[in-house]
Amino acid sequence: MGRLTTHVLDAAHGCPGSAIKVELYRVEGTQLELVASAVTNSDGRCDAPLLQGDDYRSGVYQVQFSAGDYYRARGVQLPEPAFLDVVVLRFGISAEQDHYHVPLLISPYSYSTYRGS
């Protein structure tokens, strides 16, 4: 059974990105359908996969991470507007693959991602 997972690492502080709101959308043309919403735990991971079971199917997805809120809560002084407030990653899933892991490495001024395992 396929699943989609994520985790967040805070490169600026060298720790997991905890208490970050994560929203997953299915992209249908120009429309976004909210599929899942979660908050990262103390290890920077969601407690359950964002997508699994019957909901896991091929398509284009968008995951949004509330990075600006995370850094503000940590007391980091961000400019207004923040350079990175909501980090948006759009990617495709081929349901023939068992597991997609989409991690995020963030700082207030940069981010990176990759297809993990």
User: Looking at residue 12, which CATH number applies to its domain?
Assistant: 2.60.40.180
CA distance 44 to 53: 23
Question: Which residue range(s) make up the domain with 17?
Answer: 3-113
Q: Which residues are annotated as a binding site?
A: 7, 45, 114
Averages of pLDDT over runs of 10 residues in the chain (117 residues) are 94 98 97 98 98 92 98 97 97 86 97 93
**DSSP letter string, 29-50:** TTEEEEEEEEE--TTSB-SS-S
Q: Give the gyration radius of the chain's Cα atoms.
A: 14
- Overall number of domains in the chain: 1
pLDDT at 54: 87
Query: Quick check: 27 and 59 in contact, CB under 8 A?
Result: yes
CA distance 33 to 37: 12
Q: Which residues are annotated as a binding site for substrate?
A: 7, 45, 114
Question: Considering the entire predicted model, what is its pTM?
Answer: 0.95
